[in-house]
């Protein structure tokens, strides 16, 4: 099985005719994702790649095609409105790839999405892939393979590295989720861990965190009290000096709460296997599964 997306996912792409949107839509279609519609205001009536109908609004796209999931490739200043438009149109899952969405915008988006019972992944994330079923976002499909390891990460490129190492070792994945590293995001570690715990196909979880904030400590507490499946974790930015930002807006050390040492200690206290390097996930997960 998988979490959040599967073969039943019907995808609408917001920003489908733009540079990034068109490039990644082709990649998703080639992977086998069921892309049923695209949205670019003012370009309704066109067809993308002579296959996918383009609409002026998400409402029209959902009404015509039954799309249940949206992926967003629009500029930062329009991303918040795009998320709310997708949710208001009836999409139960929204994946926002856009980087640089203002935090103030996200303070409005987050409660809007929650109140309507939808799920937002991102913003500023690489998306999600359930190998062999569906890909929504920019995670390279060629590095993934179906299997029984769930993957969740704050870092996009670190997601790719760990998935590649797992696949090389014959450890396939149920679903790989990039939650993004912004201060306010729609889906966090605990959301994914809870879903993986309930998924009968997932037998172990690989979790990649980074310095800054307390998300990893909260995830460790959840693992300790609510998970029976084994979890292996890694913290990026272990050599960063205090106050140094490591690529993500949320990755800033404040006092001792966001340090790598504090997070690693929380992992160990929760029984989470700690990887020193991304490649260590392979041996640690194999040991947990045996």
Q: What is the pLDDT of residue 90?
A: 98
Which structure tokens are listed for 195? 């879903």
**Domain 11-121 belongs to what topology?**
Rossmann fold (3.40.50)
Which structure tokens are listed for 160? 């790719």
- Cis peptide leading into 86, omega within 30 of 0? no
The H-or-E segment that residue 70 falls in is: strand 69-72
What is the chain's alpha carbon radius of gyration, rounded to the nearest angstrom?
Answer: 18
> Phi and psi dihedrals of 214, rounded to 5?
-130, 15
Q: What is the dihedral of CA 104, 108, 109, 114, to 10 degrees?
A: 140
Catalytic site positions: 248
Q: What is the pLDDT of residue 237?
A: 78
Contact of 58 with 91, CB cutoff 8 Å: yes
Q: What is the pLDDT of residue 246?
A: 52
- What residue ranges do the domains of the chain occupy? 11-121, 139-289
* CATH homologous superfamily of 139-289: Succinyl-CoA synthetase domains (3.40.50.261)
Q: What is the pLDDT of residue 213?
A: 85
Q: SS3 for 194-252, per residue?
A: HHHHHCCCCCEEEEEEECCCCHHHHHHHHHHHHCCCCEEEEEECCCCCCCCCCCCCCCC
The H-or-E segment that residue 52 falls in is: strand 52-55
pLDDT tens digits, the chain, 290 residues: what are they? Answer: 799 999 999 999 999 999 999 999 999 999 999 999 999 999 999 999 999 999 999 999 999 999 999 999 999 999 999 999 999 999 999 999 999 999 999 999 999 999 999 999 999 999 999 999 999 999 999 999 999 999 999 988 889 999 999 999 999 999 999 999 899 999 999 999 999 999 999 999 999 999 888 999 999 999 999 999 999 999 987 766 665 555 554 544 445 567 889 999 999 999 999 999 999 999 999 999 98
Q: What is the pLDDT of residue 1?
A: 75
Q: At which residue do the structure tokens 């795009």 appear? A: 82
Q: Within 10 A of 257 (CB to CB), how many other CB atoms are there? A: 12
């Amino acid at each position: 099985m998988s979490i959040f997306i599967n073969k039943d996912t019907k995808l609408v792409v917001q920003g489908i005719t733009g540079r990034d949107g068109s490039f990644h839509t082709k990649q998703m279609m080639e992977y086998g994702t069921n892309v049923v519609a695209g949205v670019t205001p003012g370009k309704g009536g066109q067809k993308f790649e002579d296959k996918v109908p383009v609409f002026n609004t998400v409402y029209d796209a959902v009404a015509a095609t039954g799309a249940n999931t949206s992926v967003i490739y629009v500029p930062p200043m329009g991303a918040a409105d795009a998320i709310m438009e997708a949710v208001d149109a009836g999409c139960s899952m929204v994946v926002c790839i856009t980087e640089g969405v203002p935090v103030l915008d996200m303070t409005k988006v987050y409660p809007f999405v929650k109140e309507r019972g939808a799920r937002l992944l991102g913003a500023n994330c690489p998306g999600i892939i359930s190998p062999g079923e569906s890909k929504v976002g920019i995670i390279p499909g060629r590095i993934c393979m179906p299997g029984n390891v769930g993957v969740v990460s704050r870092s996009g490129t670190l997601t790719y590295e760990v998935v590649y190492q797992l696949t090389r070792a014959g450890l396939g994945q149920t679903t790989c989720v990039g939650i993004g590293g912004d201060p306010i995001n729609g889906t966090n570690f605990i959301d994914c861990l809870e879903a993986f715990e309930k998924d009968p196909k997932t037998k172990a979880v690989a979790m990649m965190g980074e310095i800054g904030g307390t998300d990893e400590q909260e995830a460790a507490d959840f693992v300790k009290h609510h998970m029976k499946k084994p979890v292996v974790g890694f913290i990026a930015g272990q050599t960063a000096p205090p106050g140094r930002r490591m690529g993500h807006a949320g990755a800033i050390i404040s006092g001792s709460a966001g340090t790598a040492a504090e997070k690693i200690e929380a992992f160990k206290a929760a029984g989470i296997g700690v990887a020193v390097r991304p490649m260590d996930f392979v041996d640690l997960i194999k040991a947990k599964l045996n």
